[in-house]
Structure 1
Amino acid sequence: MPAKRSKTVTVAAPAAAHNPGVALRALRRQRGWTLAEIGARTGLPISTLSKIENGKMSLSFDKLTRIAQGLEVDIGELFSSQAPAGNDAFGGRRSITRAGEGYTIRTEHYDHLYPASELLNKRLVPIIVELHARRLDEFGELIRHTGEEFALVLEGAIELHTELYAPARLEAGDSIYFDSTMGHAYLAAAPGRCRVLAVCSGGEAHLREAMARQDLLRGARTRREDA
């Protein structure tokens, strides 16, 4: 992705407890870690972490995933107002996400809305994606992660690029199921709004790692272009 602007994260959350900066400070203090120790774990400067904790810096997806990995927590814990309660030990759990709820990651080239964000360690990860990138050079490196993926076009049209097949154009109502270890990218392929419901089986940790790798590669490429 050749973008020179940093991607920002906007979180739709009704209370300060859902703020990733607040969660970062609480988890850090709970574990008795300093900002320097968090910096060593995440690769982020102390000044950046301090600004995040104090709500003075917008989060890029790269920073968000680095923090989750450094703290060794599910990414949902950075947006949850409740501590994890061993959800996998209980049967019959459920989550209802009303229109406009969930947490949203808004970037220059896509928006991700995560329903059921309060459920940790989900076996299936649903994501509603609104696409802005229309070319592969905008999107950047192909994404790949463990598991399989189902995508249903909700609005507009998309073009799915993969490393093994020719690009596939899908219109509203069309769907595709594929092996998500295969590199892939969703691009907007029609004027106006293009939205997809993607359901991934790889688990949030794997998706988090895949997106983090993609952002790191983008950042490295941007630094080379700026040099």
Structure 2
Amino acid sequence: MPATVSIMKTTAPNAENRTVSNPGATIRSLRRSADMTLAQLSAKTGLAASTLSKLEAGHISLSFDKLAAISRGLGVDMTELLGTPAQAHVRPPMPISSGRRVMSRAGEGQLVETRSYSQVYLATELLHKKMTPMVVEVHARTMDEFLAEFGDFIRHPGEEFVYIIEGEVEFCTDLYAPMRLRTGDSLYFDSEMGHAYLKASDAPCRIVAAAAPRGNEDPMIETFVTASKRRGATPEDRTSATKPRRSSRAK
């Protein structure tokens, strides 16, 4: 019987156990470790050097597709960007077999917040996942709010699944009229289509979501948005979402 890799966290089921991620600081640490300048990372990601600088400093929100592009530009798994700068340089060995598992207790996970979303990433201990689950609370009520923060719809290669666990959500895209999703509804869609989730009820709106790359795309921790908690972006910094490039690294 092949060996399995089991990774578990055993802290108490309390929301206070969640780790709050600061992707900007980790991006800076990984870039410097790779001896890469902002200009060089800009060339690899298509993001302006000034935008990358502000993202690293936590002065503007980091949308999901920008995070995906940066992970490719740095040649790291996206999960590494969600850890602390110190954790980013500690890479666990790859499992010796295909059997592995990870359990998250209630209240655990890595929390990343923006004005539009509060997101708890689950199973972040595992690198090179084929899909990544998240629990997301939706805050933005209008597209104006969403676009003021991110500048455009979110889009990334692959497919995405969402299940509404509480409240009502308006699913907006750049191809179809808005769709109202209620508790118990689910949706599976092509995530290359520009999309956004909006709060559509007074009660809290929470969803479980997972996204996966299509075909041979690199594994990504993709879903909706990830962001720094900082605010204050100017209009010119709210660059349109950049489609991540296919990685040339060997699988």
TM range (shorter): 0.5 to 0.7
- 1:155 maps to 166
C-alpha distance in structure 1 between counterparts of 2:182 and 2:71, whole Å: 35
Partner of 2:80: 77
Give the TM-score of the pair, scaled to structure 2.
0.62
Report the CA distance between 1:24 and its aligned residue: 5.0
Of the candidates 100, 116, 125, which is equivalent to residue 109 of structure 1?
Answer: 116
Higher mean C-alpha displacement, 113-122 vs 175-184: 175-184
- Please give the per-residue CA displacement for 1:78-131, whole angstroms capped at 9, x wherever unaligned: 3174414235x6311111111222211101111111101111121112121111
Q: Which residue of 2 aligns with 1:122?
A: 129
Secondary structure of 2:38 counterpart: helix
For the residues of structure 1 that align with 2:118 and 2:142, how far apart are their CA atoms? 16
Q: What CA distance in whole angstroms lies between the structure 2 residues aligned with 1:161 and 1:48?
A: 28
Q: In structure 2, do the counterparts of structure 1 residues 109 and 45 end up closer, same or farther at CA, with 3 Å as the change threshold?
A: closer
Extract unaligned runs of 5+ from structure 1: 1-10, 213-218
Instruction: Kindly provide the amino acid, as one letter, of the partner of residue 146 in structure 2.
Output: F
Q: Is the 8 A contact 2:78 2:221 kept in 1?
A: no
Match of 2:209 among 185, 192, 198: 198
Distance 1:45 1:155, change over 3 A: closer
After superposition, residues 173-192 of structure 1 pair within 5 angstroms as: 173-192=184-203
Tell me the percent identity: 38
Which residue does 1:144 correspond to in 2?
A: 155
Alignment-derived partner of residue 181 in structure 2: 170
Indicate whether 1:61 and 2:62 are aligned.
Answer: yes
Give the direction of change, closer, same or farther, for the CA distance of 1:223–1:127 in structure 2 (3 Å limit). same
Equivalent pair of 1:39/1:45 in contact (CA under 8 Å):
no
**How far 1:171 sits from its partner (Å)?**
1.1
- Please give the alpha-carbon distance, in whole angstroms, between the structure 1 residues aligned to 2:170 and 2:127: 31
Deviation of the 1:160 alpha carbon: 0.8
Query: For residues 184 and 26 of structure 1, what CA distance do their matches in structure 2 show?
Result: 29
Unaligned runs of 5+ in 2: 1-16, 43-48, 227-232, 239-251
Q: TM-score, normalised by structure 1?
A: 0.68
Q: CA deviation at 1:164?
A: 2.9
Give the 3 Å change call, closer, same or farther, for CA 132–38 of structure 1 in structure 2: same
Residues 147 and 200 in structure 1, CA contact (< 8 A), matched pair in contact too: yes
Deviations 1:142-175 (A, max 9, x none): 2222222111001111011123332211111111
- Structure 1 counterpart SS, 2:105: coil
Q: Which has the higher helix share?
A: 1
